[in-house]
Amino acid sequence: MNHHVVAIIPARYASTRLPGKPLVEIAGRPMILHVVERARLAPSISRVIVATDDERVLLAVAEAGAEAMMTSPDHASGTDRLAEVAAQLNADIIVNVQGDEPLIEPATIEAAVAPLIENSAIVMATTCEPIESIEDALNPNVVKVVTDRDGFALYFSRSPIPFPRAEALAHGSVEAALRARPELLGVFAKHTGLYAYRRDFLLKYARLEPTPLERTESLEQLRALEHGYRIKVVKVAHRSIGVDTPGDLERVRAMMK
């Protein structure tokens, strides 16, 4: 069976740490266009659409010959923006590609889509990657995920999970344990903010009520787990680099050179 797979890139203009983020210049072009180009390189993707709340982003994307749709400025999350566009599409699978990852690997996108193509029972999939620095393990902006033996998410957290209890007790804290035994980093996995959904599930998911754990951790994917849905997590080797701060932007500009 051929699956119609559409990548949607939510691109909100207002960003507290990096105003006008989708249009910041990297290697002579707005960042959002780099993301569009990377998504187009994924073999399973048949269409790429930027979902934005700002005419400036819409115009920049259209002028480059790519596709964009205006969405409501009132969405509380990228998922809601995604669902507004998905509701208008005739697609089987929707991929949420983050608009601030201009170096996203097409292979990572393929990895997220594969479980839905291979198994009709899977409604949602995402990816994770190794954590290689103590700073990332302790950073609340780096989301960690733990999975069961079949690769389905048990929990996502901003805290270091799983908690290495014996080592933390022996050394006085998780940080001290990691500095004394850096190999402990191997127990952690960083959640990459890339999702693939069956379209029908995405529309249902966007209508679900926010949940207590979601609010506590400020992690929207916990809503799916709390409502009893399973999320397949695929391990990838490529390291994602999100552009959230001016420092991230300079780092990515240097890499793109």
Tens digit of pLDDT for each residue in 122-145? 999 999 999 999 999 999 989 999
> Where do the domains of the chain lie?
1-101, 105-239
Cα three-residue angle 38-186-114, rounded to 5 degrees: 35
Whether pLDDT at 250 is above 70: yes
If you average pLDDT over every residue of the chain, what do you get? 95
What are 196-210's pLDDT values in tens digits? 999 999 999 999 999
Instruction: Enter the CATH code of domain 1-101.
Output: 3.90.550.10
Beta bridge partners of 235: 128
Q: What is the CATH number of domain 105-239?
A: 3.90.550.10
Q: What is the pLDDT of residue 1?
A: 60
Contacts by 53-59 with C-beta closer than 8 Å and gap 24+? 53/12, 53/13, 53/81, 54/11, 54/12, 54/13, 54/14, 54/22, 56/13, 56/20, 56/23, 57/11, 57/13, 57/22, 57/23, 57/32
**105-239 shares the fold of 1-101:** yes
DSSP state letter for 53: S
For residue 86, how many other CB atoms are within 10 A of its CB?
A: 22
162 prior amide bond cis, ω within 30: yes
Task: Kindly state the average pLDDT of the residues 231-251.
Answer: 91
When pLDDT is cut at 50, 70 and 90, the band that residue 104 belongs to is very high
Taking residues 237-249, report their average pLDDT.
88
pLDDT at 60 over 70: yes
